[in-house]
Amino acid sequence: MRLTRRERDIVGAMLKAKTNREIGAELGMTEQSVKNRLSALYRKVGVRNRLELFALLTQGSAVSAANGG
């Protein structure tokens, strides 16, 4: 599944444990826009919340590293 540039930016900030407010300030978005983007991203990748997204992303990284990628 391909993420847009903005989705990657949001996920990158999220992985640095930033709040939605901090992500918005960093990316020039409102906090509500960050929430909306995250909700759409959750639906896109089939998760229900930030924790599940984090688990999915870190699991994918572990699998990729184990496969030499």
pLDDT at 50 over 80: yes
Query: What mean pLDDT is predicted for residues 6-20?
Result: 95
Query: What mean pLDDT is predicted for residues 10-15?
Result: 94
3-state secondary structure 25-45: HHHCCCHHHHHHHHHHHHHHH
Q: Rounded to a whole number, what is the distance in angstroms from the first to the last CA of the chain? A: 16
Residue 68 carries which side chain, given as an amino acid letter? G
pLDDT at 69 over 60: no
Class of domain 5-66: mainly alpha
Residues 6+ apart with CB under 8 A from 17: none
Whole-prediction pTM: 0.79
How many C-alpha atoms does 43 have within 13 Å on its Cβ side? 5
Q: Tell me phi and psi for residue 51, to 5 degrees.
A: -65, -45
Query: What mean pLDDT is predicted for residues 37-64?
Result: 85
Instruction: Please state the domain extents for the chain.
Output: 5-66
